[in-house]
Every structure is written in C-alpha cells, then in structure tokens.
C-alpha cells in the first residue's frame, strides 16, 4: 500500500511540475482512431460438459483492424496540461465493441496553445455493446505532435499503445449451447494489446 501511495504522490508531483501555473479553461475534443491488434493473451480453466477439466493458455500474435471515435470534455490546468473525460465507440477485437468512459491526462510541454510534442495517459472501462454484462478495464498511452491554431484550436496526431482486459465467454462444443456455463468456469481472462494512430481535434 505504501508503494502505491508513494507512486501516486510522485505522479502528482510530476504533473504539478509539468503543468505550470496558468489560468484554467474548459476544452472539448473529438478524436478518430484506427488501431491494429497484434497480441492476445487468453487463459481459460473450466469443466467441459463431461466433467473433464480443460486448461487453455494461449499467446496469439494476431492482426486485426479496428476503428473508434471519442468525444471529450476537459479542463486545462496550467499552461501545459489538460484533464478530461471521454466517451464514444471503440472497436477492440472480434465480438468486442465498447462504449467506454475514460479519464485522461494530456501534457504539451511547449504549452497547450503551441505547436509541439504531446503525450497523454488514459484509463477507464467500457461496456461491450454485444454483451452488456461485460465491463472491460482499459488503458492507453499516446505520443505525438500538436498542431496549434488560433483561439486554442488544435489537432493532435498521435501514436497510441492500448491494453484491454476481458473475461470473455468460452466456446466449447461439448455444451449444447456452445458456451461454458459461468458456474463451470474456474479461470477466464484475456488481454488484448494494440497499436494505432489517431487524430484529435481540440477546441
């Protein structure tokens, strides 16, 4: 617990140093992104319809393209930083389409209203639109460049690395329904990793 508290304090200190004093202001954004999933980790442990234990441990390098769009509302804190809340639509994997709610931190070292390097950290969770009972945690890191215009308008062009955690339904042909009942599942987890590009319009 002490390590976590220390990490949070260090992160807050870094953010405070980066942001620098300045007048706060409200911001809005619209972001379109394209991602390429490249690695899936799946670990399943369950009982099949005959009572036999099945253990699956897969690490798959698998290519798949997805797109998404997010709208954001934020608050500029100081001259360099912005804290925001985003939601929209996000494609992740086959049968995984999310409506996420994400908290984000963005920093432009040169200044929010200036051209320059930009990076952001985001984390949250999303509801799978194909299975509303599945709420998936997610996080991503974005690195890129901000092209600033007048009146605090700007476009961020970013490279994004994203991870999503899931408890997917397990397919097994020994069951009449084709899927393992929840009561017969001992372990069920999956991690989807992807890289992508995004263009975010800020105003």
CA dihedral 74, 19, 202, 28 (to 10 degrees): 10
The whole-model pTM stands at: 0.83
Q: Find the domain containing 70 and state its range.
A: 2-202
The CATH number assigned to the domain holding 78 equals 2.40.160
pLDDT of residue 8: 44
pLDDT of residue 4: 43
pLDDT of residue 3: 56
Q: Give phi and psi for 138, each to the nearest 5.
A: -155, 160
pLDDT of residue 192: 93
pLDDT of residue 171: 86
Q: How far apart are CA 31 and CA 21, in angstroms?
A: 27
pLDDT of residue 130: 82
What does pLDDT average to in each consecutive run of 10 residues of the chain (203 residues)?
Answer: 49 54 75 90 88 87 88 90 95 90 94 92 93 88 93 90 91 87 89 94 89
pLDDT of residue 104: 96
User: Is residue 17 helix, strand or coil?
Assistant: helix
Q: How many domains does the chain have?
A: 1
């Amino acid at each position: 617990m002490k390590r976590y508290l220390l990490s949070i304090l260090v992160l807050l200190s870094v953010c405070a140093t980066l942001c620098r004093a300045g007048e706060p202001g409200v911001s809005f954004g619209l972001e379109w992104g394209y991602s390429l999933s490249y690695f899936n980790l799946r670990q399943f442990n369950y009982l099949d319809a005959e009572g036999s234990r099945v253990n699956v441990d897969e690490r798959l390098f698998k290519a798949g393209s997805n797109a998404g769009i997010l709208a954001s509302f934020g608050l500029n804190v100081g001259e360099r930083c912005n804290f925001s809340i985003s939601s929209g639509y996000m494609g992740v994997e086959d049968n995984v389409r999310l409506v996420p709610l994400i908290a984000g931190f963005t920093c432009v070292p040169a200044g929010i209203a200036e051209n320059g390097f930009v990076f952001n950290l985001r984390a949250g969770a999303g509801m799978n639109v194909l299975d509303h009972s599945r709420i998936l945690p997610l996080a991503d890191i974005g690195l890129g460049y901000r092209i600033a215009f007048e009146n605090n308008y700007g476009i961020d062009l970013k490279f994004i690395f994203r991870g999503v955690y899931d408890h997917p339904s397990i397919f097994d042909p020994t069951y009449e329904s084709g899927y393992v009942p929840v009561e017969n599942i001992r372990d069920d987890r999956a991690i989807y990793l992807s890289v992508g590009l995004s263009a975010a319009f800020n105003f």
